[in-house]
Chain A
Amino acid sequence: MTMRTLLYDWHVANKARMVEFGGWKMPIYYTTVSDEHNCVRKDVGLFDLCHMGQIRVSGDNALEFLQQVTTNNISKIAPGQVQYSLVCNDSGGVIDDVLVYRKSDSYLVIVNASNTQTDFEWFNAHKMHDVEISNVSNDILMLAVQGPNAEKCLQKIANIDLKEIGYYYFKMGEINGTKSLISRTGYTGEDGFEIYAECDTKIWEAILDAGREYAIKPIGLGARDTLRLEAAMSLYGHELDTDINPLEAGLGRFVDLDKKEFIGKDAIERIKDKGIREKLAAFRMLDRGIPRHGYQIVKNGKIVGEVTSGAMSPTLKEPIGLGYVEKEYANLNTKIDIVVRDKNYRAVIVKKPFYKRKGQQWK
């Protein structure tokens, strides 16, 4: 069964090309991927993210429970803060990458669309007493407003001062009169907000109206993917999967091995002691060819890795990619070859991310 977001009719009426993604019918683009990509880099864009899942965790043992099922340390954030974290299995493989919102009386875990059910079941399988877990995905309308003019645009219809929301913080407020949780987070490499609103689709049109003077556009999943790729952010199913551990993925800073215990800790410690074999690397092409998911990476005729994501970068105007490469070939400036339709194209390992906005702070 393919699900539709509350904004499905709007997307279709506005000539979006709809595709299936994670069990949902979603817009991949309205105009072109490049056009929408550039709009977010230069102005501001609006994303329908209603396909993503939200799991609410509450009860006296909520903190202890989340400490068990996620790798990062939630006691390091205060109410009103957001934390990027991973859900791992016993062997240290990544079940999902998530955002944990710490509210005063509960937690909201934002999960990938295709993993919502898996995560919910995993959480329930590891449930402790005095923990309530509920899948509240259907009660929340999730949107993102991203780009250099995101704040100015959204401020026009918000009843709280958005300047007071720091990076990876959130506040409760109203947008166009609709009760919303607003966080300064995103998946584009630009400044911007993610909004978890009560299910009222009027908020979508209200943001588009407010953003008109800043040339706002609705953005499809195509540009969402190229934007996150330039920012070298992982996409589940590409850079992350159950057979990949956080250390290989370069996400060790989101795993707190000092935490008393959590699922996957022993396995990740063993991997750390032994040393990883492969590593996620960023590369750009030296020859004219575009890397794609699944293409082989070779060095001196030997297969040393595989591409996980690749595209023609709309910002850099050159082909870029991410891939797992045997550790000894994953160092900066190492020349590798990407096999594109049985031919070798030269590429070079570069620093992550490919794109960083001016004045950007990194957590």
Chain B
Amino acid sequence: MEIEKKGFKFAETHEWINVSGNIGRVGLSEYAVKELNEVVFIELPEVGAQVNQGKPFGTVESVKAVFDLNSPATGKVVTVNQLIKDSPEKVISNPYKEGWMVEIELSDISELNSLMDYKEYNGIHT
């Protein structure tokens, strides 16, 4: 797991971002999905939507509660994972792969410096 998550950056609010080029793929950490227990509904932005670092871009809902998803970076949504809109349980079963949420075209890659790496994040949430 440690090596696999090498390129991943984590926000305090449990979202991860994995950047290649200027595109960042965003999802929820394994710790967060365990806390959620199950996901029955996900609301995600449309392609083209502007998202801002630290600001809500969508929501996940368990049977009992609603949680905001905060964007780990600023930019424009270029892809939305249709798979999880139809099968939200994928977010729980595979949060780092199939369970990703959106891809963002980043406006400022230096923003990512404010995020934690996997080791640091994992140190807080184990």
- Find chain B residues with CB under 8 A from A314 CB: 63
Give Cα distance in the complex from A319 to B66, angstroms: 13
Size bracket of the B interface: 10 to 19
Choose, from B18-26, B36-44, B96-104, B108-116, the stretch at the interface: B36-44
Contact call A290/B66, Cβ cutoff below 8 A: yes
- Please give me the residue from chain B that is nearest to A311 by CB atom: B63
Residues of B within 8 A of A17 (CB): 37
User: For residue A32, which residues in chain B have a CB less than 8 angstroms away from its CB?
Assistant: 37-38, 63
Contacts of B63 in A (CB 8 A): 32-34, 37, 222, 226, 311-312, 314
In the complex, what distance in Å separates the CA atom of A37 from the CA atom of B37?
14
Give the CA-CA distance A292 to B65 in the complex, in Å.
Answer: 8
- Are B41 and A312 in contact, with the CB atoms below 8 A? yes
Question: Within the complex, what minimum Cβ distance (angstroms) separates A186 from chain B?
Answer: 20
Return chain A residues, CB-CB under 8 Å to B59.
341
Complex: A226 Cα to B62 Cα, angstroms: 12
B41 with A33: CB separation less than 8 A = no
The count of chain A contact residues (Cβ–Cβ below 8 Å) is 19
Chain A residues with CB under 8 A of B65: 292
Asked whether, in the complex, the Cβ of A288 is within 8 Å of the Cβ of B38, the reply is no
Say yes or no: is A326 at the interface (Cβ < 8 Å to chain B). Answer: no
A29 interfacial by beta-carbon distance below 8 Å? yes
- Per DSSP, chain B at the interface is loop
| Chain A residues with CB under 8 A of B64 | 28, 33, 222, 225-226, 311
The residue on B at minimum CB distance from A221 is B64
Complex contacts, B43 vs chain A, CB 8 Å = 289, 341
Instruction: Tally A-B pairs: CB < 8 A.
Output: 39
Rounded to whole Å, the gap between the CB of B63 and the closest CB of chain A is 4
A33 near B38 (CB under 8 angstroms)? yes
What's the minimum C-beta distance from A148 to chain B, rounded to whole angstroms?
Answer: 21
Interface string of B47-70 (1 = CB under 8 A from A): 000000000000101111110000
Question: B46 to nearest A CB, angstroms?
Answer: 13
- Of the listed residues A222, A225, A289, A290, the one surrounded by the most CB atoms of chain B closer than 10 A to its CB is A290
Which residue of chain B lies nearest to A312 when distances are taken between CB atoms in the complex? B40
- Residues of chain B lying within 8 A (CB to CB) of residue A37: 63
A 175-215 to B, binary, CB cutoff 8 A, 1 in contact else 0: 00000000000000000000000000000000000000000
Please give, as numbers and ranges, the residues of chain A lying within 8 Å of B66 by CB-CB distance: 290, 292
Against B, the Cβ 8 Å flags (1 = close, 0 = not) of A213-239 are: 000000000100110000000000000
Partner of A290, one of B37, B38, B41: B41
What sequence of 0s and 1s flags, for each residue 8-37 of chain A, a beta carbon within 8 Å of any chain B beta carbon? Answer: 000000000100000000001100111001
Q: Give A138 Cβ to nearest chain B Cβ, in Å.
A: 29
Give Cα A225–Cα B61 distance, bound, in whole angstroms: 16
A29 close to B37 (CB less than 8 A): yes
Q: In angstroms, how far is the closest chain B Cβ from the Cβ of A243?
A: 25
Instruction: Give Cα A226 to B40, complex, Å.
Output: 13
Closest partner residue, chain B, to A225 (CB atom): B64
Which of B37, B43, B65 has most chain A Cβ within 10 Å? B37
Assess the A312–B61 pair: CB atoms within 8 A.
yes
Interface mask (A276-304 → B, CB under 8 Å = 1, otherwise 0): 00000000000011101000000000000
Which residues on B sit within 8 Å (CB–CB) of A319?
A: 41
* A34 close to B41 (CB less than 8 A): no
Residues facing A in B65-85 (CB within 8 A) are 65-66
A192 to B59: give the CA distance in the assembly, Å: 37
Complexed CA–CA distance, A33 and B36 (Å): 11
The residue of chain A having its C-beta at the shortest distance from the C-beta of B41 within the complex is A290
Spell out B's residues near A (CB within 8 Å).
37-38, 40-41, 43, 59, 61-66
User: A interface vs B, CB < 8 Å?
Assistant: 17, 28-29, 32-34, 37, 222, 225-226, 288-290, 292, 311-312, 314, 319, 341
**27 contacts across the A-B interface (CB closer than 8 A):** A17-B37, A28-B64, A29-B37, A32-B37, A32-B38, A32-B63, A33-B38, A33-B63, A34-B40, A222-B63, A222-B64, A225-B64, A226-B64, A288-B41, A289-B41, A289-B43, A290-B40, A290-B66, A292-B66, A311-B63, A311-B64, A312-B40, A312-B41, A312-B63, A314-B63, A319-B41, A341-B43
Q: Which 10 A-B pairs have the closest CB atoms?
A: A312-B40, A33-B63, A32-B38, A290-B61, A222-B64, A311-B63, A312-B63, A32-B37, A290-B41, A226-B63
- Known contacts A32-B38, A289-B41; 13 further A-B pairs (Cβ under 8 A): A32-B37, A33-B37, A33-B38, A222-B63, A225-B64, A226-B64, A288-B41, A289-B43, A290-B40, A292-B65, A312-B40, A314-B63, A319-B41
